[in-house]
Structure 1
Amino acid sequence: MLTKNQNPTPIYFDAEIVDERTQHIEGEQYDSELVQEQITETDGGVTVLRGIGQGAVLAGFQVASTQSLYLAGCVGLFPAVVAGLPVGLSVAGALCYLRFENSFIPSITNRQKFGLGVTRTLMLAASSWKLTADAQQMNSIARNSFSGVTQQVKQYEGIQQPQQDHFPLILSFTAVIAMIFALYCRKR
C-alpha cells in the first residue's frame, strides 16, 4: 500500500521468448518479423478489397453496356457477347496465376489472387447468365405482344383471316402424277 509521500516506481520484467520456432531469433529480428507479418496481412486485406472493387467495376460495365444495347434496340447474339466479355477477361486473369512446371497439373503461384479471380469469374458469369436470360425473356414477350397487337389491328380493321387452302395436297398430287407420267413416257 502506498502513502502520500511515496512515488510509485515502475517495475520492469525481463521476458524470454520460449517458442521453439523463435528461440534462435534475437529481439530486433523478432520485431521485424512481426512487422512483416502485419504488412502481409494488410496487403492481403488490400488485395481482397481491390478484387472486390475490380469485380464491381466489371459487373457495372457488364450491366451498363448490355442495358444500353437493349435500349438501342440490339437483340440477339451481340448483347450476349458483350455480357460475356468481362467473364472471359476474368477467366484470363485468373489463369495467369497457374503455372505448368513439367506436369499436367498446374501449380498456383498466388492462392489468394487466384481465389479472388475465381470468385470474380463466378460472380460475373452469374450476372451474364441473368442478363442473357432477361434478354431472352424480353424477346419472347416482344414476340408474343407483336402477334397480339397485329391480331387486334386485324380485328379492328375487319381484315378476315385467309381461308385454308389445300396447296400442299394439290402439289403432292401433281408431283405424283408427274412421276407416273415420266415413268410411262420412259417405258415407251
Structure 2
Amino acid sequence: MLTKNQNQSPIYFDAEIVDERTQHIQGEQYDSELVQEQIAQTDGGVTVIRGIAQGAVLAGFQVASTQSLYLAGCVGLFPAVVAGLPVGLSVAGSLCYLRFENSFIPTISDRALFGLGVTRTLMLAASSWKLTSDAQQMNSIARNSFSGVTQQVKQYEGIQKPQQDHFPLILGFTAVVAVIVTFCCRKK
C-alpha cells in the first residue's frame, strides 16, 4: 500500500512470443503481420459493403428499366427478359472466380469476390422474381378486366350470346360412323 509521499516506480515486463507459428518471428515483423491482417479484414469488410451497394444499384436500375417498359406499354416476355438479364450477367461474373485445375471440382480463386458475386446475384434474383410476379399479376388483371368490359359492352348493346350448337358432337359421331363403315367395307 502506498502513502501520499511515496512514488510508484514503473514496472517493466520482458515477454517473448511462445506460439509455435510465430516463435521464429521478430517483434517488428510480428507487429507488421498483425497490421497487415487487420488491413486485410478491413478490405474484406469494404468489399462486402461494396458488393451490397453494387447489388442495390443494379436492382434499382433493374426495377427502373422494367417499370419504364411497363409504362411504355410493353407486356409479356420482353420485360421479364430485361428483369432477368442482370441476374444472368451476375451469375456469369461470379463464375469467373471458379477455377478448374485438372479436376471436376472447382476451386475458388478469390473467396471474398466470389461471395460478393453470390450476394449480388441473390439480390438481383429476388428483385427479378418480384418484378416477374408483378408482371404476371398485371397480366391476369388485364385479361380479367378485358373480358369483364367486353361482357358489359355486349350487355349494354343488347348483343345476344350465341346459341350453343352441337357441332363437335355431330363431328365425332360422323367420324365414328366413317371408321365403322370403312372396317365393314374392308371385310367384304
Task: Count the aligned residue pairs.
Answer: 175
From the superposition, tell whether residues 165 and 21 of structure 1 become closer, same or farther in structure 2 (CA, over 3 Å).
same
Higher mean displacement: 41-50 or 65-74? 65-74
Which residue number in structure 1 is paired with residue 184 of structure 2?
none
1: CA distance between counterparts of 2:172 and 2:129?
Answer: 46
Which residue number in structure 1 is paired with residue 53 of structure 2?
53
Quote how far apart the aligned CAs of 1:22 are: 0.7
Higher mean displacement: 6-15 or 84-93? 6-15
**Do residues 145 (structure 1) and 140 (structure 2) align?**
no
**Do residues 163 (structure 1) and 163 (structure 2) align?**
yes
1: CA distance between counterparts of 2:172 and 2:90?
Answer: 57
Aligned counterparts, 1:1-188, within 5 A: 1-164=1-164
Which amino acid in structure 2 is aligned with residue 62 of structure 1?
Q
Which residue number in structure 1 is paired with residue 181 of structure 2?
none
Q: Percent identity?
A: 91
1: CA distance between counterparts of 2:161 and 2:48?
Answer: 64
Unaligned runs of 5+ in 2: 176-188
2: CA distance between counterparts of 1:119 and 1:103?
Answer: 26
Unaligned runs of 5+ in 1: 176-188
Higher mean displacement: 38-47 or 107-116? 107-116
Aligned-residue CA RMSD in angstroms? 2.3
From the superposition, tell whether residues 8 and 170 of structure 1 become closer, same or farther in structure 2 (CA, over 3 Å).
same
Quote how far apart the aligned CAs of 1:38 are: 0.3
Which amino acid in structure 2 is aligned with residue 105 of structure 1?
I
Quote how far apart the aligned CAs of 1:51 are: 0.9
Scaled by the length of structure 2, what TM-score is found?
0.83
With CA pairs under 8 Å and 6+ residues apart, which has the higher RCO, 1 or 2? Answer: 2
